[in-house]
Structure formats: structure tokens, C-alpha cells
Amino acid sequence: MKIIEIDTRAVAVGDEHDHWLLLSAAPEIARHALLDAAAQDGRLAGVVLLDAQLEHAARLAALSRAHPLALYATPGVFEALTTRLAHLGDLRWHPLPVAGDVRSAEFGVEGMASLRCIAVDEERDEGEARVGDRLALIVEDRLSGQRLAFSGAATEIVP
């Protein structure tokens, strides 16, 4: 598993075939030519949105202009973004069922079979937000056994 730490709010994970998955879509990804090239030639497998921040969502239209983009998000994030923004780009929504009593969900990413992902509701004070409004993510590479734990506040890589 290849990892690009874009900043504390975004990370990209690559596989053995040079396909990439973005964890968050922070505006800073515009500075990374490798990720822009991956989006242009169809090697950007998708984006996982950890929350509904508008500045992160605004980058989705640019990333999806050459090829449709797989977007992994909870129902709450989907609702918040589609209510506030008219057009987010050419997106293929993949709902992450973290809501209500469900606090985590495992999912795979199309085109990146070696990755196993788990979306986990972030702990917060009672009443601050609904389940699924803010996620942390665990990504495991089944080939190398390497793991990445990521939230908007911290990144930890386990070899």
C-alpha cells in the first residue's frame, strides 16, 4: 500500500496497480500532480468523504471531469451535500450505512480489490452530531497486511 499524506485533513492510498483512493477531498489535493493525473486517466478509484464540509466537496467536480468518480459517504453526508450544492460532478454514490444504531461498516472499493475499508463513527460529545455525520476510517491492504487509521485530526500507519 502506498500512502500520500496530503495534509492533516486528507490522505491518498494507492495499490499495486497504481490506483488511488482519496480519504477526504481537501482543497490541498489540487497541488498533487500524481493524483490529478490519476483522476484524468481513470486510476482514481474513488473518494471517501468523512464529513460534509463544503470546501472538501467543491473539489469533487474537478476530480470527476474526465471520468465518473466513485464517492463513498454516509446517508447524512449525502443529504447535507446534495441539499446545499446543486452539482457536485459526475459521481457514482456508494452509501456507507453508518447511521442510527449502526456505528461502523466494512466496504470494498471497486478497482482496488486488495483494500479492506472500515468506516467508523467518530466519538463526540452527546448531542453534538448524528451518527454518520463524521467518520474515521481504517484501511487494510490484504496483500501486505499494512493498515492505516485516519480521521480528520490524525493519521496512523501500522506496518
* Sequence spans of domains, the chain: 2-158
User: Considering the entire predicted model, what is its pTM?
Assistant: 0.88
Name which residue leads in pLDDT, 129 or 132. 132
The pLDDT of 103-120, averaged and rounded, is 95
Mean pLDDT rounded to a whole number for the chain: 86
pLDDT in tens, 35-82: 889 999 999 999 999 888 877 777 788 888 889 999 999 998 888 888
What is the Cα–Cα distance from 151 to 112, expressed in whole angstroms? 21
CATH number of 2-158: 3.60.15.10
The answer to whether the beta carbons of residues 27 and 7 sit under 8 Å apart is no
List Cβ neighbours of 104 (8 Å cut-off, separation of 6 or more). Answer: 98, 118, 119, 120, 121
Range 104-114 average pLDDT = 95
Q: Phi and psi for 97 in degrees, rounded to 5?
A: -80, 60
- Give the whole-number percent of the chain exceeding pLDDT 70: 89
| C-alpha–C-alpha distance, residues 145 and 127, integer Å | 37
